[in-house]
């Protein structure tokens, strides 16, 4: 058989296959790099878009929080104004009652008796004073008991003073009479 040397042809084929392989690897690497950069760019764009939306929402939330704070302040101011209005209405409504209360207290005082202290707390009225005798204190208690403006008078104490007078303390409840036509 004749000696045919096929090595250069095989070597050339091997080099051609290797070139094609390297070109294919390069092409795949290029396509992969393109895909990676494309996907990365897409997600970076989406991320920056989402960050922009988040920043917008944060700004809007801050603006709404300021509005909520203003609304809360206005609500508190409104409550305070309503409380003041109710207080003023109560004072206006109770003005004749207070005048009548003091008028009855003044009319209830018998001779030789005077008040030294008067304390009105809510419905409770506390009267302190001095009298010439215990009979005057008893007369005061009867007058309070008969009054339409006071109920449950109770004598808290009587104390004899050095000057021959008696110091007394009376507590009772203030009520409004059933017919307010007298006001």
Contact (CB, 8 A) for 150 and 172: yes
Contacts of 183 (CB under 8 A, 6+ apart): 96, 97, 100
Of 35-44, 45-54, 68-77, 89-98, minimum mean pLDDT range: 89-98
Name beta bridge partners: 151.
Answer: 173
State how far the Cα of 172 lies from the Cα of 154, in Å rounded to an integer: 6
Over range 154-166, report the average pLDDT. Answer: 86
State how far the Cα of 167 lies from the Cα of 159, in Å rounded to an integer: 5
List pLDDT tens digits, range 114-138. Answer: 889 988 887 888 999 998 888 888 8
Over range 75-94, report the average pLDDT. Answer: 89
Phi-psi region of 152 (alpha: psi -120 to 50; beta: other; left: phi over 0): left
Token pair of 48 as six digits: 């920056």
pLDDT value for 44: 95
Name beta bridge partners: 128.
Answer: 117, 169
Domain 108-177 class? alpha beta
């Amino acid at each position: 058989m004749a000696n045919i040397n096929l090595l250069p042809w095989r070597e050339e084929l091997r080099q051609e296959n290797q070139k094609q392989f390297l070109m294919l690897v390069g092409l795949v690497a290029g396509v992969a790099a393109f895909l990676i950069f494309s996907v990365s760019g897409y997600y970076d764009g989406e991320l920056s878009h989402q960050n922009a939306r988040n920043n917008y929402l944060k700004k809007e939330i801050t603006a709404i929080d300021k509005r909520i704070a203003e609304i809360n302040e206005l609500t508190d101011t409104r409550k305070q104004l309503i409380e003041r209005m109710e207080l003023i209405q109560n004072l206006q409504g109770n003005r004749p009652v207070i005048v009548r209360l003091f008028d009855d207290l003044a009319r209830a005082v018998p001779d030789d008796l005077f008040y030294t202290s008067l304390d009105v707390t809510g419905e409770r009225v506390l009267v302190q004073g001095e009298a010439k005798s215990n009979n005057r204190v008893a007369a005061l208690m009867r007058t309070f008991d008969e009054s339409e403006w006071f109920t449950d008078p109770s004598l808290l104490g009587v104390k004899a003073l050095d000057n021959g007078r008696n110091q007394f303390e009376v507590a009772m409840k203030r009520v409004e009479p059933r017919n307010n036509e007298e006001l």
